[in-house]
Every structure is written in structure tokens, then in C-alpha cells.
Structure 1
Amino acid sequence: MAREQGQKMVAQNKKARHDFHIEDTFEAGLVLVGTEVKSLRAGRASLVDGFADIEGHEVWLHGVHIPEYTQGTWTNHSARRKRKLLLNRAEIDKIERRVNEKGLTIVPLALYFKDGRAKVEIALARGKKSFDKRHAIAERQAKRETEQAVGRRLKGHQD
């Protein structure tokens, strides 16, 4: 059987980009059991309530929902168990140092397969305040309106 090539997206956490200022991102491997991999290959997962934590110089992913595999038997996994992330020691030390000193949190942004291996993109993030969210929405709306005005101008329409 040929080895998988490329990247296959399983799940994204769009809410994280809305609720947090993303400061730095890392790609980490995941320690999974067989039925979790089969469930992910079926394209089923949710990162919405997920976060990562450092316990004893290891990074653990909490709250990520990977549903039970439908054809699984008694060997099936629990849907919201904590999963170990695979990172280099230097990356773990860097993340731990920044989380402790600056008050950042670790949130998962995406879950995908890269060359046949399950990966998760995690980010060091700082929570946004509600006025920051409103400001970001207003900026996005203003940018959209200017692009529409430029497009109308190029087509020859007068406003």
C-alpha cells in the first residue's frame, strides 16, 4: 500500500482566532489509540472546547472531542480523554516559560493528517476582551466596504 502524501484537514477551531490574539504557533504530534485514528480518518473531531496544559514537562491536550469509532468494540476510546502531545524538549521549555511568565494559554487551532501522521497545530494565545472583538469586526466590515467600493469604481459605476 502506498504511503499517504500531503495534508488532510480534519478539524479547525475558528472560534479560537476570534476569541484569542494568536502570538506563536507550533505543530505537535498526537499520541492516539487505534480507534481514535479511525474516527479521525472518517473526518470526525471537534476542537471547540480544547486547551493544552503542561504537567511534569509534558504537554497534554484536554477537551478535544474525538467521537467513538462506530465499528469499534470494547476497545473503543472515551471521546474526551486527555491526549499527550509530542514536541521537542526545547519547544516544551519555551512554551512552559512563556505560559508561566506572560499569562498566555495554549489552544488547539487545527487537527490534520500530514503524510499519514496525526498532527495538531497549537498556539500560544492571549484572550481578547469584548471591545477587541468588536473592533476586529468593525475593521473587517470597513475593509469589505472599501473593497466593494473599489470594485464598483473599476466597473464604472458611480456612487
Structure 2
Amino acid sequence: MARPKPETFDKQKTVAENRRARFDYAVEDKFEAGIALQGTEVKALRAGEASIAESYAEVRDGEAWLINANIPEYSHGNRLNHQPRRPRKLLLHNREIERLLGAVERKGMTLVPLSIYFNSRGRAKVELALAKGRQAQDKREYIKDRDWKRDKARIMRDKG
């Protein structure tokens, strides 16, 4: 029997965050996926070196892949160091992959990584978002709403 899914993921140490994704995309659903990494990639992540700003995820041949994520070479690595921008396999259940594939194909959604982090057990995880791209008008509305919420909170704080 599956255990209930927590509201927020168990993030111990966030390594990389894609802050721009929350602005460029309207996030519909979030998933937690493991990543298949090589040894020097894990060491580079633990050192806090990673960038997922231009990365995305896709489903190919029934497997999910993280494309264009930059994990720079480990500084103390030898000739067996990894390639910084290689595709990395995401570890998801088959039914999750089928659900993601259906949403991407039918609804025209995109798989965007929001963050890479280590959970409490020390495993590297990716927080994936099933998202829909925002148009320029939507972005302006988002900025207006965000600014209004900030101003409203400031007014309430000053009066309180």
C-alpha cells in the first residue's frame, strides 16, 4: 500500500533552484524524482555546484530524462570525471511516467525542474513541475498580483 504523499518534499539541502521557472510557467503539479548520477556528479552537487536554469525534462522510450542540466566537473576529480551537460536519467514509477507523458502529449504541458536537493536520507532528488507556459500578458498579470500582495502585506503590517 502506498503511503500518503506529503504536501512538501523533505528538502534538507537545496543545491540548485530554477527561480525563473515559476515566473515563466504556471505550475500545475509537482513530482519528486531521483536522479541516476555518477560519483563525481554527487560530489560536485554536495559542493553546491549546479545550474538548472536552461534545463528541462522529457520522456523518451518510456524513461524520463533531465536534459541540459549543468553539473560542472568535480574540482578534485581525475580523468574519469563526468561530462557537465550529459542527459541524466530520472527515477520515477512507470505510472508516473505515463501520467507525465499523457499530460505533455495531450495538454501541451512542459516538464520543468524546479530544484535539485538532497533529502534527509542523503539522496539527490529533483523537484519536477508539470507546467504550462505563460504568455507575456499572463506574466504582466502575475507581476501585478505579486506586487499587490506585497504592498497589501506591507500596509497590514504597518497598521497592525
User: TM-score with structure 1 length normalisation?
Assistant: 0.91
| Bigger radius of gyration | 1
Q: Which residue of 2 aligns with 1:141?
A: 147
Q: Which runs of 5+ in 2 are unaligned?
A: 1-9
Q: Which residue of 2 aligns with 1:47?
A: 52
Q: Which residue of 1 aligns with 2:116?
A: 111
Q: Which residue of 2 aligns with 1:157?
A: none
Runs of 4 or more off by more than 4 Å in structure 1?
Answer: none
Deviation at 1:22, TM superposition (A): 0.4
- Give the AA of the match of 1:147: A
Count of residue correspondences:
150
Question: SS where residue 158 of structure 2 aligns?
Answer: helix
Within the candidate set 92, 95, 104, 2:100 is matched to 95
- 1:127 & 1:8 partners in 2: Cα distance? 28
**Structure 1 segment 1-159 matched on structure 2, within 5 A:** 7-114=12-119, 115-154=121-160
- Give the AA of the match of 2:52: L
Q: Which runs of 5+ in 1 are unaligned?
A: 155-159
Question: SS where residue 69 of structure 2 aligns?
Answer: coil
- The 8 Å contact of residues 15 and 50 in structure 2, kept in 1 or not, is answered as yes
The 1:39–1:24 alpha-carbon spacing in structure 2 relative to 1, beyond 3 Å, is same
* Most deviating of 134-143 and 59-68: 134-143
Root-mean-square deviation (CA, aligned residues, Å) is 1.3
* Most deviating of 104-113 and 139-148: 139-148
